[in-house]
């Protein structure tokens, strides 16, 4: 059974890393940038000359929660899925300079037969301690409800009810998960057919953060670029490598809201999405 006291007391300390140019370019390629190898927007993130780090790379910097499979947590690891993600970008991630990450369990909700909801908060800072990004991640532990904890939920940010201003087709290659997992998320749910079947999926699913990255990259290109100040999304259902997202976009002051649907299945993959530009 999930142990909320252990999770609340868990001290994960600080972790340090450096983003090399190769890391930044690999991440960009793993979210579909570079599909047009001469597109100036894509080249900003895939070519070492004047290379920039795509903003959603903050989500994978020291981000894979490997500790979730520690038996002391009481979490049923093979029934864990990603629920939602929220990113605030304080400044652009630096290349070849130290980055410090600190993670803690911010909230734990008991949803009984719907499982448990963990809210994890991770803060990234530079070598001087200045904030780079703040990430809040919702993790659904689908088999771990009923531990006697507080019921609750996290506020949603629904997309507008009117018709979207545009729809973008965002194609995920069949190899998308195989490439994206090289960003240090080696969860077998995204590569192992038997493991995915045991978790209740028809085949390995795409990483939620990978699908999110594809969506933000397509949306930022459509908006003509700009610096992302804040973005977030709810993972409403599985998306499979090889599928195409119909990304509905609603223009908003300083950014846009979005929803990603897989029309061939009539299913919503991404919902409550938004991007705010600085």
Query: What DSSP line would sit under 68-91, residue for residue?
Result: GG-GGG---GGGEEEEEEEEEESS
Q: Which residues are catalytic?
A: 185, 190
> Are 223 and 277 within 8 A, CB to CB?
yes
The CATH 3.10.129.10 domain(s) of the chain lie at: 1-19+61-154, 156-278
Q: How far apart are CA 128 and CA 102, in angstroms?
A: 15
pLDDT on residue 64? 66
**Superfamily (CATH H level) for 156-278:** Hotdog Thioesterase (3.10.129.10)
**What's this model's pTM, rounded to 2 decimal places?**
0.94
Please name the residues in contact with 82: beta carbons below 8 A apart, sequence gap of 6 or more. Answer: 137, 138, 139, 140, 207, 208, 209, 235
Instruction: Write phi, then psi, for 194 (nearest 5 degrees).
Output: -65, -40
pLDDT band of residue 199 (cuts 50, 70, 90) is confident
Report the percent of the chain where pLDDT is more than 90.
84
Residue 30 has pLDDT above 80, yes or no: yes
Identify the band that residue 150 occupies on the pLDDT scale cut at 50, 70 and 90. confident
Average pLDDT of the segment spanning 72-94: 92
CATH dotted code for 1-19+61-154 = 3.10.129.10
Question: Could you tell me the CA-to-CA distances from 62 to 103, 128, 131 in Å, in that order?
Answer: 9, 18, 15
Q: How far is 166 from 6, CA to CA, in rounded Å?
A: 46
Lowest mean pLDDT among 20-34, 87-101, 183-197: 183-197
Q: Is the pLDDT of residue 177 over 80?
A: yes
pLDDT surpassing 70 at residue 183: yes
Distance CA 228, CA 91 (A): 9
At residue 163, the pLDDT reads: 98
């Amino acid at each position: 059974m999930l142990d909320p006291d252990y999770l609340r007391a868990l001290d994960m300390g600080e972790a340090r890393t450096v983003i090399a140019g190769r890391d930044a370019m690999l991440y960009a390629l793993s979210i579909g940038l570079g599909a047009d190898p001469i597109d100036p927007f894509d080249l900003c993130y895939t070519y070492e000359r004047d290379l920039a780090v795509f903003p959603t790379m903050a989500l994978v910097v020291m981000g894979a929660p490997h500790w979730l499979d520690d038996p002391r947590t009481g979490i049923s690891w093979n029934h864990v899925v990603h629920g939602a993600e929220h990113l605030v970008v304080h400044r652009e991630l630096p290349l070849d300079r130290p980055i410090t990450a600190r993670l803690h369990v911010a909230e734990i909700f008991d949803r009984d037969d719907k499982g448990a909801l963990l809210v994890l908060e991770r803060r990234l800072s530079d070598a001087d301690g200045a904030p780079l990004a703040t990430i809040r991640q919702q993790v659904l532990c689908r088999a771990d409800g009923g531990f006697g904890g507080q019921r609750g939920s996290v506020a949603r940010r629904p997309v507008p009810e009117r018709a979207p201003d545009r729809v973008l087709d965002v194609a995920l290659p069949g190899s998308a998960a195989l490439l994206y997992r090289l960003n240090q998320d080696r969860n077998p749910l995204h590569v192992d057919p038997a493991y995915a079947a045991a978790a209740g999926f028809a085949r390995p699913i795409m990483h939620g953060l990978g699908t999110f990255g594809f969506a933000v990259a397509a949306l930022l290109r459509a908006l003509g670029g700009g610096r992302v100040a804040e973005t977030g999304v709810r993972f409403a259902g599985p998306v499979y490598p090889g599928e195409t997202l119909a990304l509905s976009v609603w223009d908003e002051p300083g950014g846009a809201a979005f929803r990603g649907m897989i029309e061939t299945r009539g299913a919503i993959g991404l919902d409550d999405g938004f991007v705010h530009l600085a």
